[in-house]
Amino acid sequence: MLTSRFGFGYGLGYSACKEASALVTLGHTVTVVHCYSSPEIAHFFDPQITRVYLPMKRIPLVGFLLYFFTLKKFFRKKLDLRTFEIIYIQSLEFGLLDLSRVETPVFYYARSTMRGLQHALHNEGEKKSSLANIIQVILVALERRCMRYSKIIFVKSSQMAHEVSNFYGIPTNKIAVITGGVDEKDFQRQSYASCTEFKRKFKIPLNVPLVLYAGRIVPQKGLSYLIEASLELFPEKQFVVAIAGAEVDVSYSAKVKRRVKKSDYPTRFYFLGHVDQREMSFVFNAADCLVTPSVYEPFGMVNLQAAFLNKYIITTDVTGSVELLANYKRIRIVHARSSSAIKLALRQVLSETNNIGQEVFDFQGFSWLDAAKKLTQFFGGEFEGTRKKGS
């Protein structure tokens, strides 16, 4: 498995870790090469997984291009790709490899696409620098390489399958939809006392409905629309908003915080920053409603996690995971880029929170082990008749 992050964050790194562990459970030997390290990775340690940290210099464009030489040297001298039955690429950085010469079968996971993201940001009116435009061209080229030399491209929603096909001309028979899983150990219903302790840690009021935003603070996640909706609704509804996510886009985060600070209700917003994955269960349990106001969201794993815990969800019609939650009664799907639509949904949800009963949502088939089994079905004959040396 070649991935940028491993065991870090709520999206790619967390999913990579869970998939790798599930593949090991199925009897495969897994080696993970990753290029972003974090102290959080220690919490996902699995002695059965070989982890290789191959750092990338964090210098705009230059650091990325230098990674080509790092990869080339590493795979020539220390890790021979020919010793593996499967190469599973999860990050376009590894498109820097000379994939045309790799004889081992390659599979690629497209969490999103650079073209799809760029299209969404363009519609948001986000301007990019000349350097950013150059980087965009390079990333699209690498993404195209990963797709071109892969036997199968994995995506997590049919929406993402259409995006890969439309933006890159990939035939549909080369794309497989495999959703992520929900880990029952990571997301358990917590006691009232535990939720109270969590709220006190962040000085969040105890007896006020809590609306949660969980995700990176970047333009495509649409946080600004939730903030506008909340500001419009505060005069008539008593609630607070918790924002759990790293400030990845510094300028966007600053703009969002300025809007909050200049409003009449700055004390009703709680910026929690990045929350350790081990504590996310407490965050979800403490919340009355999750809002994912994304303008671009190929899947949206947090929606599944919230539904697993029987929470109200407000999400947008561009979110890939809504296709899995069509029968979930506590989801409200609104138009993307509409603070007024979020406001109306919030008003409805906040009026219903006192009448929450237990809803049993069928999550059969949504475990990480189920996801890994589906992966290996596509890996197929690559394992047959060979010694399982790697994955």
User: Looking at the structure, do residues 96 and 208 belong to the same domain, yes or no?
Assistant: no
Q: 94: domain CATH number? A: 3.40.50.2000
Residue 214, pLDDT score? 95
Residue 100, pLDDT score? 92
User: Looking at the structure, do residues 114 and 198 belong to the same domain, yes or no?
Assistant: no
User: Looking at the structure, do residues 246 and 176 belong to the same domain, yes or no?
Assistant: no
347 Cβ neighbours under 8 A, 6+ residues apart: 233, 236, 237
Residue 385, pLDDT score? 41
Range of the domain at 282: 192-355
Residue 386, pLDDT score? 43
Residue 355, pLDDT score? 53
User: Looking at the structure, do residues 115 and 61 belong to the same domain, yes or no?
Assistant: yes
132 Cβ neighbours under 8 A, 6+ residues apart: none
User: Looking at the structure, do residues 288 and 347 belong to the same domain, yes or no?
Assistant: yes
Query: Is residue 51 one of the residues assigned to a domain?
Result: yes
User: Looking at the structure, do residues 177 and 249 belong to the same domain, yes or no?
Assistant: no
User: Looking at the structure, do residues 232 and 162 belong to the same domain, yes or no?
Assistant: no
Half-sphere exposure of 38 (CA within 13 A, CB side): 17
Query: Is residue 160 one of the residues assigned to a domain?
Result: yes
Query: Is residue 101 one of the residues assigned to a domain?
Result: yes
User: Looking at the structure, do residues 103 and 199 belong to the same domain, yes or no?
Assistant: no
- Report pLDDT digits (tens) over 60-93: 788 888 999 999 999 989 999 989 999 999 999 9
Residue 361, pLDDT score? 66
User: Looking at the structure, do residues 133 and 259 belong to the same domain, yes or no?
Assistant: no
Q: pTM of this prediction?
A: 0.90
User: Looking at the structure, do residues 174 and 297 belong to the same domain, yes or no?
Assistant: no
Encode the chain (391 residues) as per-residue pLDDT tens digits: 999 888 876 677 888 999 999 999 999 999 999 998 877 777 778 899 999 999 998 887 888 889 999 999 999 899 999 899 999 999 999 999 999 999 999 999 999 999 999 999 988 888 888 888 888 999 999 999 999 999 999 999 999 999 999 999 999 999 999 987 788 787 877 888 888 998 999 999 999 999 999 999 999 999 999 999 999 999 999 999 999 999 999 999 999 999 999 999 999 999 999 887 778 888 999 999 999 999 999 999 999 989 988 999 999 999 999 999 988 999 999 999 999 999 999 999 999 855 555 566 677 778 899 999 999 999 985 544 444 444 4
116 Cβ neighbours under 8 A, 6+ residues apart: 163, 167, 296, 298
Instruction: Quote the number of domains for the chain.
Output: 2
Residues 297, 319: Cα–Cα separation, whole Å: 5
Query: Is residue 40 one of the residues assigned to a domain?
Result: yes
User: Looking at the structure, do residues 235 and 342 belong to the same domain, yes or no?
Assistant: yes
Region of 380 on the Ramachandran plot (φ > 0 left; ψ -120 to 50 alpha; else beta): left
User: Looking at the structure, do residues 159 and 198 belong to the same domain, yes or no?
Assistant: no
DSSP letters, 207-265, are SS-EEEEES--SGGGTHHHHHHHHHHHTTT---EEEEES---SHHHHHHHHHHHHTSS-
Query: Is residue 186 one of the residues assigned to a domain?
Result: no
Residue 145, pLDDT score? 95
* Cβ–Cβ under 8 Å, residues 12 and 4: yes
Residue 44, pLDDT score? 77
